[in-house]
């Protein structure tokens, strides 16, 4: 049974040394919040020239242009310097490189360090989620995942935002709530790590679908149809995988699904939009220039769903368009024909 608590009753503890690994939009947004809460925050990015530019200008020009970084945030390309003395480490690295970075950092970690993944994806060519990788590549650590409807750009702009910290370790959740909670950022906790993490990975697929629908000038009826049936698919898959489907009606599930499927701030949505306008997938991904996790996730979920006999018509449809060279009008006709059982309840089998 999933439990949820929110962070509004917690206060910020004494300043802690905390590392954020990753120099992209989300790593920067999270590091900025933590530094703003008075913690000794170190953000690690692999590229020294970019780290120097951030230090010198007080801005992460490539990922969050125009956003002033907290003056107390320490930015470094030296992993040892970032980790030194830290007992809390956020890992905000795309799934493609997540294991490689965790392998590099593992020997530097003190036993009992809190490791939090913020990554919404599945490992390439395996079915490992990021918390699996944290468990496999380290020992004696305390592990959690952070996921929710959280556009980095809106977080740093101070829009009211909520997220979920998930861990079986209740004390960890409490600590992370205190570290991140601010006037505009509220943190709920959950003990359903698998459900929260799976929801974050799955919703990216459907943002590609709704981005494509927008490119084809489809209206709000279509978007509502897609989001609702996406939720049904996500819950059906989650249940088959042993996750708690109730998690999917919370912030990390339907909350993030609605957000990502409704806005061109989403990179996955923008990939779908460009493909819907006739651009080849590789070109669309290159043009976005940042990670769009859903492209890889759809391949992996399609394979897993086929293997387990889980009915996911939207996943099959987007897979057919992206990877099987099937024309979009034909795929839509098939979806709408009733040849597929588009309207089964979330837990029903076709
Ligand atoms: N941007 C957003 O609004 C949100 C993103 N996320 C998730 O957070 C994760 C990271 O996303 P973003 O920061 O937005 O991605 P991003 O594309 O903005 O940045 C990725 C960062 O990772 C770095 N990186 C890539 N490979 C690396 C390697 N081998 N070693 C070291 N650094 C490496 C890149 O240089 C870049 O600094 C993704 O899984 C995403 O789904 C979660 C919530 C919101
Ligand atoms: O996860 C996100 C918002 O919650 C960001 O979505 P994109 O990765 O599609 O930009």
DSSP 217-258: T--HHHHHHHHHHHHHHHHHHHHHHT--GGGGGSIIIIIHHH
Are 226 and 314 contacting, i.e. CB atoms less than 8 angstroms apart? yes
Query: Does position 9 have pLDDT exceeding 80, yes or no?
Result: no
pLDDT at 350 over 80: no
pTM recorded for the entire structure: 0.94
Q: Give the integer Cα–Cα distance in Å for 249 and 245.
A: 8
Instruction: Provide the pLDDT confidence category of residue 10 given band limits of 50, 70 and 90.
Output: very low
SS3 196: helix
**C-alpha distances in angstroms, 214 versus 46, 262, 269?**
36, 9, 9
> Is position 152 annotated in a ligand binding site?
yes
Q: How confident is the model at residue 13 (pLDDT cuts 50, 70, 90)?
A: low
Give the residue-averaged pLDDT of 305-321: 96
Q: How many residues does the chain have?
A: 350
Residue 11: pLDDT above 90? no
For the chain, give the mean pLDDT: 93
| Ligand 1 within 6 A of CB of 120 | yes
pLDDT at 1 over 90: no
Question: Helices 313-323 and 193-215: crossing angle, nearest 10°?
Answer: 60
Residue range 143-170: average pLDDT?
A: 98
For the cut 60, the answer to whether the pLDDT of residue 148 exceeds it is yes
pLDDT given for residue 75 in this prediction: 98
Q: Is 76 in the pocket of ligand 2 (CB under 6 A)?
A: no
**Residue pLDDT, tens place only, 172-182:** 999 999 999 99
User: What tens digit of pLDDT does each residue of 218-263 get?
Assistant: 999 999 999 999 999 999 999 999 999 999 999 999 999 999 999 9
| pLDDT tens track for 275-307 | 999 999 999 999 999 889 999 999 999 999 999
Q: DSSP string spanning 262-294?
A: T-TTSHHHHHHHHHHTT--HHHHHHHH-S--TH
Would you say the CB of residue 120 lies under 6 angstroms from ligand 2?
yes
Residue whose structure tokens are 């996911």? 312
Reply yes or no on whether the pLDDT at 7 is more than 80. no
Query: In this predicted structure, what is the pLDDT of residue 308?
Result: 95
Asked if residue 293 belongs to a known ligand binding site, the reply is yes
The Å distance, Cα 319 to ligand 1 centre, comes to 23
């Amino acid at each position: 049974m999933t439990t949820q608590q929110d962070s509004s009753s917690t206060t910020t503890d004494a300043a802690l040394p905390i590392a954020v690994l990753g120099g992209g939009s989300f790593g920067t947004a999270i590091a900025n919040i933590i530094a703003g809460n008075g913690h000794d925050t170190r953000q690690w990015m692999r590229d020294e020239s970019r780290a120097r530019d951030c230090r010198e200008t007080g801005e992460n020009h490539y990922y969050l242009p125009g956003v002033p970084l907290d003056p107390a945030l320490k930015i470094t390309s030296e992993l040892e310097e970032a980790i030194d003395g830290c007992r809390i480490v956020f890992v905000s690295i795309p799934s493609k490189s997540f294991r490689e970075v965790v392998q590099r950092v593992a020997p530097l970690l003190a036993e009992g360090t809190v490791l939090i993944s913020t990554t919404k994806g599945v490992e390439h060519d395996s079915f490992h989620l990021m918390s699996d990788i944290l468990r496999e590549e380290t020992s004696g650590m305390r592990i959690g995942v952070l996921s929710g409807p959280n556009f980095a750009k809106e977080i740093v702009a101070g829009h009211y935002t909520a997220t979920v910290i998930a861990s079986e370790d209740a004390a960890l959740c409490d600590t992370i709530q205190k570290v991140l909670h601010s006037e505009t950022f509220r943190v709920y906790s959950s003990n359903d790590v698998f459900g929260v993490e799976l929801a974050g990975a799955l919703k990216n697929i459907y943002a590609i679908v709704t981005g494509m629908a927008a490119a084809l000038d489809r209206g709000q009826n279509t978007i509502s149809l897609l989001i609702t049936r996406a939720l049904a698919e996500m819950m059906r898959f989650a249940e088959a995988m042993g996750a708690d489907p109730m998690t999917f009606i919370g912030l990390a599930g339907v909350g993030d699904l609605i957000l990502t499927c409704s806005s061109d701030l989403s990179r996955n949505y923008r990939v779908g939009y460009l493909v819907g306008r006739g651009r080849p997938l590789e070109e669309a991904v290159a043009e976005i220039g940042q990670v769009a996790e859903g492209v890889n996730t759809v391949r992996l979920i399609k394979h897993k769903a086929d293997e387990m006999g889980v009915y996911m018509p939207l996943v099959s449809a987007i897979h057919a368009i992206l990877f099987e060279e099937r024309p979009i009008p034909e795929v839509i006709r098939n979806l709408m024909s009733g040849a597929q059982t588009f309207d089964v309840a979330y837990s029903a089998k076709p």
